[in-house]
Homo-oligomer: A and B are copies of this chain.
Amino acid sequence: MVTRCEHCPLRRFHLFKPMSDSDVKAMQKFKVGELIIEAGTPVLSEGSNSPQLFTALYGMGLRYKHTSDGERQVVNFVFPGDFVGLQAGVMGEMSHSVEASSKMTLCVFNRSELWGFFKSYPERAFDLTWLSAVEEHFLGEALTSLGQRSALESLSWALLRMFMRCERIGLVQNRRMAMPFRQQDLADALGLSLVHTNKTLSKLRDQQLADWSDGHLTINDKEKLAAIAKIELDVVPVRPLM
């Protein structure tokens, strides 16, 4: 049972730029199916030349790279509405891997049709570039977080960012959301050791700022957390949905 784009459950959220009817039709023509995978399954591999592109529909995952000494850097997290595989689509291969952290459903597109898609639907091509720019924006922010902030600040930033992203797509109920990642994932994202990540998370819990345990994140006071993270609360930019 494949969801048709006109019934896409994500479209209604204001996080996404509104789509015209012709946008929706274009996507429906481009979409070739759905992929359902279990937690822990790889979606795309670094260096691979995948024939497919995806949009996350349900579930969460992470993007990561391997360094030559076997370490892992988590580049970003994947939430519903995120587009996956653009690099392979235009550059020919992925510079990072993507893997599911929970059970995921992804819309599948054929990479071979991407070029025709660009020609036929310039508005959507524009949106794809936009999306890429949003991604770049986010990485720039992550870089800043990593370069300038203490562990407490970095973790506050990361948790709050994820929380606010998920709020916008209806995944937060009662100030609580599912967070299927491991502490190691967040540590690898922020360049911290697992041990120190754990201790800092305890600190956030003790101070009642953010409680991440049992696979769920609870945030009661976003203002306080934002003050520590040194970010504004109103800055989840609107982005296109592909």
The residues of A with any CB-CB pair to B shorter than 8 Å are: 65, 67-69, 71, 73, 75, 86-87, 89-91, 95-96, 115, 118-119, 122, 125-126, 128-130, 132-137, 139-144, 146-148, 188-191, 230-232, 237
- In angstroms, Cα B118 to Cα A141, docked, is 28
- In angstroms, Cα B14 to Cα A143, docked, is 30
Shortest Cβ gap from A185 to chain B (Å) = 13
Chain A contact residues: helix, strand, loop or mixed: helix
Given A122-B119, A137-B95, CB of A129 within 8 Å of CB of B67: no
- In angstroms, Cα B85 to Cα A136, docked, is 12
Given A136-B136, A143-B143, A230-B67, CB of A91 within 8 Å of CB of B190: no
Q: Are B143 and A142 in contact (CB under 8 A)?
A: yes
Which residue of chain B has its CB nearest to the CB of A189? B147
Shortest Cβ gap from A113 to chain B (Å) = 13
User: Copy number in this complex?
Assistant: 2
- In angstroms, Cα B126 to Cα A222, docked, is 39
Residues of B within 8 A of A133 (CB): 86-87, 89-91, 132
Q: Are A146 and B147 in contact (CB under 8 A)?
A: yes
Partner of A129, one of B125, B142, B146: B125
Partner of A96, one of B91, B126, B140, B147: B140
Residues of B within 8 A of A191 (CB): 146-148
Q: Are B95 and A126 in contact (CB under 8 A)?
A: no
- In angstroms, Cα B118 to Cα A125, docked, is 8
5 contacts between A and B (CB under 8 A): A73-B140, A95-B141, A122-B122, A146-B191, A148-B191
Which residue of chain B has its CB nearest to the CB of A126? B118
Partner of A190, one of B95, B136, B147: B147
Which residue of chain B has its CB nearest to the CB of A120? B122
Shortest Cβ gap from A92 to chain B (Å) = 9
- In angstroms, Cα B68 to Cα A142, docked, is 14
Interface centre among A115, A139, A143, A146, by most B CB within 10 Å? Answer: A143
Residues of B within 8 A of A237 (CB): 91
Q: Are A73 and B143 in contact (CB under 8 A)?
A: yes
Interface centre among A89, A118, A133, A146, by most B CB within 10 Å? Answer: A133
Shortest Cβ gap from A123 to chain B (Å) = 8
